[in-house]
Amino acid sequence: MFKTNYSENRPPCELMPIKFCSVSFNKYGNCLIDKVSLTIESKGITILLGPNGAGKSILMRLMHGLELPSSGEVLFRGKNSNEAIRRKQAMVFQNAVLLRRTVIENLSFVANLLKDRKIRKLKELLEEVGLSEKQHLKARQLSGGEKQRLSLARALVLQPELLLLDEPTASLDPYSVQMIESLLIKLRKQNTKIIFITHDLNQALRLAEDIIFIHKGKLEAFQPVRAFFENPESKFAEAFIQGKLIF
């Protein structure tokens, strides 16, 4: 299934360290992110965990420049986010956002915006996500899992150094979950940094190198995956792992 060698199309990139410098984000008078400071320097997959409403999606939107901090800075290789930096990133949302076009046209639209850059071969991308036989269908005709796989393929047209995923496998069928996870493992081996939001602790154990845990907008733990599950730094993280309600 996964035949395309991603690294053949792009040389291994320098790791893009991400630094949050006392970042806060307020909206409608509510503090949604509260003085978060951390530096993500690891390769592979970093997973964001926390209960509903903890601020995971906001933290990811701040990474991608979709939201701006109310105070503090988000830095990439020591620089504030700008258009050049954002062009090295791609984000996939929990609910697939697709164009009202065919499957292949959803990819070619992005490719046409990148005429000055090398791009993935679109049909190979569709084969990797199991959609090559549906390339001429309208995107709206796809199942939920297929739409999410198309969203991921479209993100990979960009050949991102940093791939941000906001619960991309939530409520998907097992086949789509397995296919997406297999592709992420392949990308991890080929120097793409991945940051992934999930509520599935087993998925976190399967995929993560390290875990960021936030609660009520505060950073409660940032640990290698085994250390997080065996000796979490936070009582809230420990309760979350045990399946308890946390307040």
**Sequence spans of domains, the chain:** 6-241
Q: Do 169 and 198 form a contact (C-beta atoms < 8 A)? A: yes
At residue 69, the pLDDT reads 96
Q: Is the pLDDT of residue 36 over 50?
A: yes
* Whether pLDDT at 37 is above 80: yes
Read off the pLDDT band of 118 (50, 70, 90).
Answer: low
- Rounded CA separation 24/73 (Å): 9
Those residues whose C-beta lies under 8 Å from the C-beta of residue 26, and which sit 6 or more positions away, are: 32, 70
Query: Which range has the worst mean pLDDT, 3-7, 123-127, 145-149, 171-175?
Result: 3-7
Q: In the structure, what pLDDT confidence band is assigned to residue 9 with cuts at 50, 70 and 90?
A: very low
pLDDT band for 86, please (50, 70, 90 cuts).
Answer: confident
pLDDT band at 136 (very low <50, low <70, confident <90, very high): very high
Mean pLDDT of 55-72: 95
Give the residue among 197, 39, 141 at the shortest CA–CA distance from 184.
197
**Distance between CA 241 and CA 49 in Å, rounded?**
10
CATH code assigned to 6-241: 3.40.50.300
Q: Tell me: pLDDT of 179 over 50.
A: yes
Contacts of 88 (CB under 8 A, 6+ apart): 16, 160, 161, 162
pLDDT of 16: 66
* Average pLDDT for 84-108: 88
Average of per-residue pLDDT across 152-178? 90
Q: Is the pTM of this model over 0.85?
A: yes
